[in-house]
Structure 1
Amino acid sequence: MNNTKTAVAENNQPWNLLFITWILATSGTLISLFFSEIVQLPVCVLCWYQRIALYPLVILLPLALFPFDVSIIRYASPLVIFGWFVALFHVLVVAEIIPEAAQPCVQGIPCSETHFNLLGFINIPVMSLITFSLLGVLLFLAKKSFTENT
């Protein structure tokens, strides 16, 4: 425990990276709630799975910031990895690479429809994949930065 406090006191980079990770997870959560609750876009099954992976990070990450606890990376990483794979699957569904028979979506709310498109290729599944990719990179960098300083 003393080594953790000493390492953080000498170098705030792991703490800063976890804080940025929390900001990104919180932003993703607020954006997903904006699209579903304010804009009233339907939420498909794959979107719900991605939310299940993202929303707990908003609560877990700040718990590890005060006081700093690097072991949160061990607990946050499985959520990020799960969310990344679901987001990748969702992108492949939208790109029509995954056959319709393999899609877990329910009738009336298809996962292959995109209700929001920015620049012709940035849709909600792509934004989710980018978010989970950034979360994974930030967690990796935080872990690497911490282990280099201890």
Structure 2
Amino acid sequence: MTLLGVATPLAVLALIADAIVLAALVGLVLSRVSAAVRGWWDGLRDLVSPIALPGAFLVSLIAVSGSLYFQFGADLVPCQLCWFQRICMYPMVVLLGVSMLRRDLVSARLYALPLGVVGLGLSIYHYLLERFPGQIHLNCGAGQPDCAVTPFNIFGFVSIPYLALAAFLLILTLLLFARSDGEEAWEEEPAAC
């Protein structure tokens, strides 16, 4: 397969991930202002919770597989920021996989959320560096690929850091969206006397 033959389906998956994250954020906000939406939201969380951890694991596995393809299949040398993002993503495959097998959402949140937050910050910074190369300066070192150069832009804006950004966002959303065992739906706050 060619680079674009792999990058294009990953770009579509990234856009789907963005839509899921946006829908979750809108649902969260609306559930805070409307009792009717709150009931729907709690039902949706109950429905999605059992598949959230396997979903987060699958997202991390696809992200790692994509990065390995870009490096070894398409011969793209990762830049310094790509390596830092990999440091955050690669352990998540193991952490989320073990947590999924143990059905332990609490441990997944404890260990994967910090990695996801750091990885998200790095991918946002890297994406901004690509979009505004003159505004942000990073010394990547001699012989290292330039972090501001991207080998592709699918749909005009989806690059490798964007793929990582979408993956980190979706993993964080799934981990925060899911309900752990014993976690109850939001209660209606009692009226003040």
State the distance in 1 between where 2:88 and 2:139 align.
17
Hey, what does 2:163 align to over in structure 1?
Answer: 127
* Aligned ranges 1:62-141 → 2 under 5 Å: 62-71=97-106, 72-96=108-132, 98-100=135-137, 103-108=138-143, 109-141=145-177
AA aligned opposite 1:27? I
Cα-to-partner distance string for 1:42-79 (whole Å, 9 max, x where unaligned): 20000000000000011111211222112221111000
Structure 1 residue 104: Cα displacement: 4.1
State the distance in 1 between where 2:140 and 2:170 align.
26
Determine helix, strand or coil for the equivalent of 1:85.
helix
State the distance in 1 between where 2:160 and 2:152 align.
7
> 2:150 touches 2:159 (CA, 8 Å); kept in 1?
yes
**Runs of 5+ unmatched residues, structure 2:** 1-45, 186-193
User: Aligned pairs, how many?
Assistant: 135
State the distance in 2 between where 1:13 and 1:120 align.
32
AA aligned opposite 2:136? P
Cα-to-partner distance string for 1:72-111 (whole Å, 9 max, x where unaligned): 21111000000000000001111126422xx142234110
Residues 81 and 104 from structure 1, CA distance in 2 versus in 1: closer, same or farther, beyond 3 angstroms? farther
**Runs of 5+ unmatched residues, structure 1:** 1-10
- Give 4+ residue runs of structure 1 displaced > 4 Å after superposition: none
TM-score (norm 2): 0.65
State the distance in 2 between where 1:59 and 1:129 align.
19
State the distance in 2 between where 1:13 and 1:118 align.
30
Q: Which has the larger radius of gyration?
A: 2
**1:16 to 2:51 alignment:** yes
> 2:57 touches 2:100 (CA, 8 Å); kept in 1?
no
Determine helix, strand or coil for the equivalent of 1:92.
helix
TM-score (norm 1): 0.83
Residues 93 and 67 from structure 1, CA distance in 2 versus in 1: closer, same or farther, beyond 3 angstroms? same
Determine helix, strand or coil for the equivalent of 1:66.
helix
Of 82-91 and 56-65, the range deviating more from structure 2: 56-65
**1:30 to 2:56 alignment:** no
